[in-house]
């Protein structure tokens, strides 16, 4: 059995038409590595966006704890600037870029 840790993935976001508006979308869940955490966060985001674009509700949180809430229409993630690390409350440890 794989040993999983609880990760946080922080993805900078900006408004599609007003680049002065920016923020951060935070994903959390279990993964074996920072790379896997980044991959899963991107995967659940893509699934949520596809569901939203199809007029469906956002998928429920997965069994491994990953899910998406608070999608903001008109906001775009910058996955190249995403950072992942072990969950330490609101302090991110072990930064790893995508």
Entry pTM: 0.84
Which candidate, 63, 58, 59, places its Cα nearest to that of 31? 63
Mean pLDDT (whole number) for 43-62: 91
Which pLDDT value is given to residue 93?
46
User: pLDDT tens digits, residue range 1-41?
Assistant: 578 899 999 999 999 999 899 999 999 999 999 999 999 99
Q: Name the helix (H) or strand (E) containing 15.
A: strand 5-15
Percent of the chain residues past pLDDT 70, beyond the cut = 90
Specify whether the CB–CB gap between 65 and 13 falls below 8 A. no
pLDDT of residue 87: 86
pLDDT at 65 over 90: no
């Amino acid at each position: 059995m794989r040993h999983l840790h609880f990760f946080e993935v922080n993805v900078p976001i900006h408004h599609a038409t007003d680049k002065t508006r920016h923020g951060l979308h935070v994903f959390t869940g279990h993964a074996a590595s920072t790379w896997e955490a980044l991959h899963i966060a991107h995967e659940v985001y893509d699934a949520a966006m596809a569901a939203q674009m199809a007029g469906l509700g956002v998928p429920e949180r997965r069994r491994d704890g990953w899910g998406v809430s608070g999608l903001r229409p008109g906001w775009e993630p910058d996955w190249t600037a995403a950072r992942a690390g072990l969950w330490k409350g609101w302090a991110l440890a072990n930064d790893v870029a995508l």
